[in-house]
Structure 1
């Protein structure tokens, strides 16, 4: 997982979208575009056949006036289900927020795993446990994914950056670019979603 950056000019804000007013479908559509079809928590690609949910990070805010854009993330439905409801939220307090500016300095990425920069950082520890960032199956999937990308790069003859840029620029391969933090940190590249702007 990487820090989620919220846009100050988001269409959600511009259009005054609200869950309470029944704008859930439009909110999901905007979040999917803003997140570049990437699940906020697992960083897996959200394809047309994937069930995705607008996730209320703090479930206690749902259906209140305090709920809003900073609390909404588009995630795979299974991860939303496993995250649980209010009782599980309360059990894992306090939590590091996914938009925290120091997110990636407090939860580090290392060879498929998310580790704590400081073992005494309770907020980061609780978030890692709450969102199941330490799930063994997901760790192995990230490792396997990076191995496949490395093999593809070697076969292509391109540099790491040129290969990632090329894949992003081709609609046929767009769905093969996910686990963004793993790609950027392990391959020392920048995943430039701006390349998708005119595709």
Structure 2
């Protein structure tokens, strides 16, 4: 998982949108804006959210949902399964590192396909890893297999990482997953290569 950078000039802020419990029309607009800002990727798994994937507006701090304190900074678009698995665990994992925290990537490290703590005593970062299941064995295994496949494909086609991922993006964005892993393993900025969604 990468640190999530929220846009100061987000359409959500410009239009002063509020999440309204039970108002699907209003919330669909928020979902659409978040999808565009996240370039179609799940904030937590960093997998592309396809047309047939169930997706949710995730309220990172679920206790704020439906309150005046709930806001754009608390909202992320995620795959439904990850939202569902997190929903009942909030109180158990406090205090927790916020996904927008500027120190995020210095505290939650990517290391050979896994997310690990930079400091074993960092309880906020540990709680985030546990809350979002960033150390989920099955997801980590998928991430490692993906990176291994992409390395192999680059060797077969004798192509550098930037060109390779530009081709994947151009061909079918759904072939791109695990953005932070791509950055670290191939020393590129995949986010810059992915076009904005209109």
TM-score, L = length of structure 2: 0.93
8 Å Cα contact 1:165/1:192 also seen in 2: no
Q: Map residues 6-85 of structure 1 onto 2, 5 A cutoff.
A: 6-20=6-20, 22=23, 23-85=26-88
- 3-state DSSP of counterpart to 2:167: helix
- In the TM superposition, structure 1's runs of 4+ consecutive aligned residues that sit over 6 Å from their partners are none
Distance 1:195 1:122, change over 3 A: closer
Who is 2:109 aligned against? 108
**Residues in 2 aligned to 1:39 and 1:198: alpha-carbon distance in whole angstroms:** 14
Root-mean-square deviation (Å): 1.6
1:56–1:72 contact (8 Å) kept in structure 2 = yes
Distance 1:194 1:164 in 2: 8
Partner of 1:196: 195
Match of 2:121 in 1: 120
Residue 108 of structure 1: how far off its partner (Å): 0.2
1:146 matched to which residue of 2? Answer: 147
TM-score (norm 1): 0.93
Aligned to 1:158: 159
Pair 1:124–1:195, CA change in 2 (3 A): closer
1:119-169 Cα deviation digits (max 9, x unpaired): 00000000100100111001100000001111221122221122112322x
Query: Do 1:96 and 1:123's aligned partners in 2 also have CA atoms closer than 8 Å?
Result: yes
Paired with 2:113 and 2:68, the residues of 1 have a C-alpha distance of 38
Deviations, residues 62-114 of structure 1 (Å, cap 9, x unaligned): 000110100000000000000023xx211110000000000000000011100
Count, aligned residues: 195
Q: What SS class does the counterpart of residue 114 from structure 1 fall into? A: strand
Q: Aligned-pair distance for 1:173?
A: 2.0
Change (3 A) 1:9 1:127: same
SS in 1 for 2:146: helix
Please give the per-residue CA displacement for 1:157-198, whole angstroms capped at 9, x wherever unaligned: 221122112322x1x321111200000101111114455248
